[in-house]
Amino acid sequence: MIQFDLKNRVAIITGGAQGFGFSITERFIQSGATVIIWDLDEDAAKEAKEKLKSDNLSYQILDVTNSDQIDQNLKVIENKFNKIDIFINNAGIAGLNTTVAKYPLDEWKKVINLNLNSVFYCCKAIVPIMEKNNYGRIVNISSIAGKEGNPNASAYSSSKAGVIALTKSLGKELAQKNIAVNCVTPAAAKTRIFDQMTEEHINYMLSKIPRNKFAKVNELASLVTWLSSEENSFSTAAVFDLSGGRATY
């Protein structure tokens, strides 16, 4: 396994206690980073800390759709470390699998709020800290659904498309600074998010992947770790595919 150097770097990973987020957390710890997991599930966060057994890992329980909670927790971390180098926007939900005509308004708002609005809130709050320290790496976890749109997943697809646009906009705003903003668009992986999907939708996603298999969480973690490292000093406002050949642009 190739090691990227994240020593002396302070990183926050939203939804970092399970799935893609846990794999990124594990890889960051192995690469020498100090990691703070942001999660709503305290049991999952405790379990992640117990599994990784690292003094460089801690967690804060908060709702990333609440901008006040984001600001409060960032202040605690900044006061402790005097900086925050890396921010990974990973938290998200799949939402219901149903047609646009039948999609409940409350469910639409819930998915957009967590998958897109929270990314905006976190980016808005973290950028001034990174600008102050003249260093930053932001990686937003989008989805191939954000590029191609999946039927019966309009809220999820729309939210992830928004993450791509937000990444491009923010990355260009910060292009003259030592802050890189990129996103990754993975195909589906067998994580707990599958519990939110119908079997029919899971089979549809698999049928669209030329490699005929789902992504592995460690493959995403490897890409995200490079994007979060000092070695990535050029790529910004970019979209990195991890779709098993599904991506067409």
Instruction: Give the pLDDT of residue 204.
Output: 77
Instruction: Give the pLDDT of residue 237.
Output: 98
Would you say the C-alpha torsion 243, 244, 246, 249 has a positive or negative sign? Answer: positive
Q: Which residues are catalytic?
A: 156
Model pLDDT for residues 46-89, shown as the tens digit of each residue: 999 999 999 999 999 999 999 999 999 999 999 999 999 999 99
| Separation of alpha carbons 182 and 56, rounded Å | 25
Domains: count for the chain:
1
Model pLDDT for residues 182-193, shown as the tens digit of each residue: 999 998 766 666
User: Residue 203 — very low, low, confident or very high, per pLDDT cuts 50/70/90?
Assistant: confident
Position 194 pLDDT exceeds 90: no
Listed in sequence order, the DSSP H helices in 67-211 are: 67-81, 105-112, 118-133, 145-148, 154-173, 199-207
Whether 225 maps to a domain, the answer reads: yes
Q: What percent of the chain has pLDDT over 70?
A: 96
Whether 70 maps to a domain, the answer reads: yes
More confident residue, 192 or 209: 209
Whether 190 maps to a domain, the answer reads: yes
- In this structure, what CATH number is given to the domain that contains residue 122? 3.40.50.720
Burial-class residue 131 by CB neighbours within 10 Å (0-12, 13-18, 19+). Answer: middle
Whether 98 maps to a domain, the answer reads: yes
- Mean model confidence pLDDT for the chain: 93
Position 248 pLDDT exceeds 90: no
Least confident of 1-5, 165-169, 238-242: 1-5
Model pLDDT for residues 230-245, shown as the tens digit of each residue: 999 999 999 999 877 8
How many Cβ atoms sit within 10 Å of the Cβ of residue 232? 17
Amino acid occupying residue 98: T
CB contact burial 138-174 (16+ within 10 A = b; e otherwise): bbbbbbbbbbbebebbbbbbbbbbbbbebbbebbeeb
* Exposure on the CB side of residue 86, measured as CA atoms within 13 A: 32
Position 198 pLDDT exceeds 90: no
Does this model's pTM top 0.85? yes
| Separation of alpha carbons 202 and 197, rounded Å | 7
From 78, 71, 62, 26, select the one nearest 47 (Cα to Cα): 26
How many Cβ atoms sit within 10 Å of the Cβ of residue 208? 16
Under 8 Å between Cβ of 2 and 197: no
* Exposure on the CB side of residue 129, measured as CA atoms within 13 A: 27
Whether 3 maps to a domain, the answer reads: no
Domain that holds residue 106: 10-242
Q: What percent of the chain has pLDDT over 90?
A: 82
Instruction: Give the pLDDT of residue 18.
Output: 93
Instruction: Give the pLDDT of residue 216.
Output: 78
Whether 163 maps to a domain, the answer reads: yes
Under 8 Å between Cβ of 74 and 129: yes
Whether 232 maps to a domain, the answer reads: yes
User: Residue 160 — very low, low, confident or very high, per pLDDT cuts 50/70/90?
Assistant: very high
* Exposure on the CB side of residue 200, measured as CA atoms within 13 A: 7
Listed in sequence order, the DSSP H helices in 134-216 are: 145-148, 154-173, 199-207
Whether 247 maps to a domain, the answer reads: no
Under 8 Å between Cβ of 33 and 11: yes
